[in-house]
Amino acid sequence: MSPPPGVGNEKTYVELTALATEGIIKRIDRRLAFYQINDDARSMIVETGRIIDENMPQIIAAFYRHVGTFPEAARFLSSFDVAEIKLRQKEHWNRLMFSGFSEDYVHSAVRVGVAHYRINLPLYLYISGYNNFMGNVVDLIVNHYLGALVSAQHLRSMIKAISFDMDIAISVYTVADRLKLKPGGSHDGADGNLPWH
């Protein structure tokens, strides 16, 4: 039996990325079906995506203002070029909304999971960070589509896409767990939380 992958080395992350991506792509149709991401939902995601895209700079700015007021979250950004991460976030959200859940999108979503796993970002920070983003998206959609039924349908579609996106990034953590990897980040959950919780 081969030894478990090493801790925090490049080969480990390459293996993790490959395994997570392969597993998701193999069963992507069933996953999309379970989320009820059908043709109607897809076209609504694209339509609503255009409104989100127009407002993306403000949504991203609000996200970083939020993170900046929580030192336990902001410390993960200290050694990174935040302008570069913002750019990659915008690109990722564009793939989520406009690429029709393509392989390119799956690669991007797995990269998000691996990037966060690598720095040992606790899942509660990822999910609560996404919650900030989602709250602003909800405000946008409701204000844009003032008719209650229409906005409910658009919200429903966007929630499907966002849940799907979170699901893939979080799956990377569970694949890493199964591989018995340990994240390589320098943050150890010093706020009393276990690193992944």
> Which long-range contacts does 25-28 make (Cβ < 8 Å, 24+ apart)?
25/103, 25/106, 28/101, 28/106
Are 24 and 113 contacting, i.e. CB atoms less than 8 angstroms apart? no
| Given 5, 13, 44, 76, the residue binding ligand HEM (CB under 6 A) | 76
Report, in Å, the least distance between residue 191 CB and ligand HEM.
13
| Given 126, 145, 164, 173, the residue binding ligand HEM (CB under 6 A) | 126
Transcribe 41-110 into DSSP letters: HHHHHHHHHHHHHHTHHHHHHHHHHHHHT-HHHHGGGTTS-HHHHHHHHHHHHHHHHHS-S-HHHHHHHH
| Given 67, 137, 140, 172, the residue binding ligand HEM (CB under 6 A) | 67
Under the criterion CB under 6 A, does residue 92 sit at the interface with ligand HEM? Answer: yes
Under the criterion CB under 6 A, does residue 118 sit at the interface with ligand HEM? Answer: yes
| Given 80, 139, 174, 191, the residue binding ligand HEM (CB under 6 A) | 80
φ, ψ of residue 42 in degrees (nearest 5): -60, -45
Give the Cα separation of 176 and 43 in Å (integer): 34
Stretch that binds ligand HEM, among 9-17, 35-43, 88-96, 138-146 (CB under 6 A): 88-96
Under the criterion CB under 6 A, does residue 117 sit at the interface with ligand HEM? Answer: no
Catalog residues that contact ligand HEM under the rule CB under 6 A. Answer: 67, 73, 76-77, 80, 85, 88-89, 92, 111-112, 115-116, 118-119, 121, 125-126, 129-130, 133
